[in-house]
Amino acid sequence: MERALRLHRDVEKQLQRIPKKTRERLVQTMRSLRVEPRPKGAEKLDDNLYRIRQGDYRVIYAVFDKETVIVICKVARRAESTYRDLRALLEKARSLLDED
């Protein structure tokens, strides 16, 4: 079953700052999550929140199985700050889901 893929508005801005070739690989990785939301190498961070690696970048996303939706919360280079405020990211994802 293919899931809907939603991007938080902050993610669009984050992607614009990434070099084009890398951005294209990241977008491909994000699209693949529609089919397999928990691929090999994905790490569970908190409740519905997961992280997957793509080179030097990390994609943090929330999986809502009941609603069959994946919300991309953050795309950032690997750093300690990447994982700050995970609860806030999850809340952003839930609020985006509630907008529908």
Which domains, ranges and CATH numbers included, belong to the chain? 4-98 (3.30.2310.20)
Mean pLDDT of 57-82: 91
> pLDDT-derived band of residue 100, with 50, 70 and 90 as boundaries?
low
Contact 73, 49 (CB under 8 A): yes
Q: Classify residue 69 by its DSSP letter.
A: E
- Global confidence as pTM: 0.90
pLDDT 10s digits, 8-61: 889 999 999 999 999 999 999 999 999 999 999 999 998 899 999 999 999 999
51's CB contacts (< 8 A; 6+ apart) are 42, 43, 45, 58, 59, 60, 61, 83
> pLDDT-derived band of residue 4, with 50, 70 and 90 as boundaries?
very high
97's CB contacts (< 8 A; 6+ apart) are 6, 64, 67, 69, 71
Question: What confidence score (pLDDT) does residue 54 get?
Answer: 92
